[in-house]
Homo-oligomer: A and B are copies of this chain.
């Protein structure tokens, strides 16, 4: 297979030939492994993502990977955990503006960084691996809570009545975002010509939430 030699070549940083630093974990190895994993994921997708390929590209031994991550899924989750630290804080003054901005920036984040490919892979992985599914669920709860806060802020601002069906609103927002990601439908809006559908989705959701009070 052609990609084997290719995996090694683009390394770039000249393989600094790490070694043990004594009886404890070498952070350089850990980050080399995560970086290699991320690079492979964004370049070849989940298909090319194997422990073997990561080890090769990171210049690490396979057992070093298996010592710290029990399996492929765990490594995958760590790769995403490392990326998602980019938190998307928004405050446009209105709830509708906040949600549109949030989703727009989320789609941009998924589109323009390896995070999108990584997250798609995690969702895929979760379909066959229960541990990954659990991790995904807890991650999702975390993110829902954050969006919940954004919405709560909107309620405090009076953009939405206090008794609005917040859980439904939040769940539907995530459903929308995920489906767009999973069907590859997160292209940037073509500013002038095609009216972006995203604001329409948000508007429907907010009016529905307002009406459920």
A interface, CB within 8 angstroms of B: 3-4, 6, 45-47, 120-121, 123-129, 133, 136-137, 140, 165, 167-169, 171-172, 174-180, 182-184, 197, 200-201, 203-212
- The DSSP consensus for interface residues of chain A is helix
A210 to B206, CA, bound (A): 12
A182 to B6, CA, bound (A): 34
Kindly report how many copies of this chain are found in the complex they form together.
4
A201 to B175, CA, bound (A): 11
**What is the chain B residue whose CB lies nearest that of A133?**
B184
Question: A182 touches which one: B123, B168, B184, B209 (CB < 8 A)?
Answer: B123
A101 to chain B, nearest CB (A): 18
Report chain B residues within 8 Å CB of A209: 204, 208
Report chain B residues within 8 Å CB of A177: 175
